[in-house]
Chain A
Amino acid sequence: MTEDTKFHHGDAAADVAPIVEMKNIEKHFGNIIALAGVSFDVKPGECHCLLGDNGAGKSTFIKTMSGVHKPTKGEIFFEGKPLHFDTPRDAMEAGIATVFQDLAMIPLMSVTRNFFMGREPTKGKGLMKRFDVEQANDVCMEEMRKMGINLRGPDQAVGTLSGGERQTVAIARAVYFGAKILILDEPTSALGVRQTSNVLATIDKVRSQGVGVVFISHNVRHALAVGDRFTVLNRGKTLGTATRGEITPEQLQDLMAGGQEMAELEGSLGGTV
Chain B
Amino acid sequence: MSDSAQVAGDERVKKEPFMTKLMKRPELGAMAGVVLVVIFFAITADDSMFTLAGIMNFMTPAAQLGILAIGAALLMIGGEFDLSIGSMVAFAGLFFGVCVVTWQLPLIVAIPMTFIFAAFVGAINGNIVIRSGLPSFIVTLAFLFILRGLSLVGLKAATGGSTQLRGVRDVVENDWLAPFFSGEAFGGLFTWLAEKGMIDTFKSGAPKVPGIPVEILWFIVLALAATYVLLRTPAGNWIFASGGDSTAASNSGVPVNRVKVSLFMLTACCAALVAIITVIDAGSTDARRGFQKEFEAIIAAVIGGCLLTGGYGSAIGAFFGAIIFGMVVIGLTYTDFDQDWFQVFLGAMLLIAVLFNNAIRKRVTGER
Contact = CB atoms under 8 A, between A and B. Distances in A.
A118 B254 contact: yes
A264 B132 CA distance: 50
A192 interface: no
Contacts of A120: 233-234, 237
A117 B252 contact: yes
A82 interface: no
B249 A118 contact: yes
Interface string A144-165: 0111101011000101100000
A241 interface: no
A202 B50 CA distance: 64
B95 interface: no
A113 B240 contact: yes
B20 interface: no
A7 interface: no
A104 interface: yes
B6 A150 contact: yes
A22 B18 CA distance: 54
B359 interface: no
Given A117-B241, A150-B7, A201-B1, A105 B248 contact: yes
A162 B254 CA distance: 25
B311 interface: yes
A159 B368 contact: yes
A193 to B, nearest CB: 14
B240 A106 contact: yes
A113 B244 CA distance: 12
A147 B2 CA distance: 7
A41 B249 CA distance: 27
B253 A89 contact: yes
Contacts of A104: 245, 247-249, 251-252
B3 interface: yes
A160 B232 contact: no
A118 B7 contact: no
Given A87-B255, A117-B252, A159 B7 contact: no
A157 B364 contact: yes
B251 A68 contact: yes
B2 A146 contact: yes
Contact of A198 (B1, B234, B251, B366): B1
Contacts of B3: 145, 148, 150
A130 interface: yes
B10 A118 contact: no
B242 to A, nearest CB: 9
A159 B365 contact: yes
Interface in B206-260: 228, 232-234, 236-238, 240-241, 244-245, 247-255
With most chain A CB atoms within 10 A of its CB, the pick from B1, B7, B232 is B1
Contacts of A122: 234
A106 B364 CA distance: 12
B233 A152 contact: no
B234 A152 contact: no
Contact of A109 (B241, B253, B366): B241
With most chain B CB atoms within 10 A of its CB, the pick from A102, A117, A153 is A117
A152 B13 CA distance: 7
B240 A88 contact: no
A100 interface: yes
A78 interface: no
A113 B368 contact: no
B307 to A, nearest CB: 8
Nearest to A198: B1
Given A88-B252, A117-B252, A118-B249, A106 B2 contact: no
Contacts of A247: none
A160 B361 CA distance: 11
A58 to B, nearest CB: 16
20 contacts: A104-B245, A104-B249, A106-B244, A109-B311, A113-B237, A117-B237, A117-B249, A118-B241, A118-B254, A122-B234, A129-B233, A130-B233, A133-B232, A146-B1, A147-B1, A148-B1, A153-B13, A159-B368, A160-B365, A160-B366
Given A104-B251, A150-B6, A201-B1, 20 more contacts: A68-B251, A87-B253, A98-B251, A100-B251, A106-B241, A107-B244, A107-B368, A108-B311, A108-B365, A117-B253, A118-B254, A120-B234, A130-B232, A131-B233, A131-B234, A146-B2, A152-B13, A157-B365, A157-B366, A159-B364
| Nearest 10 A/B pairs, CB to CB | A118-B253, A159-B365, A160-B366, A106-B244, A120-B234, A104-B248, A104-B251, A89-B253, A118-B254, A150-B6
Interface of A: 66, 68, 87-89, 92, 98, 100, 102-109, 113-114, 116-120, 122, 129-131, 133, 145-148, 150, 152-153, 157, 159-160, 198, 201
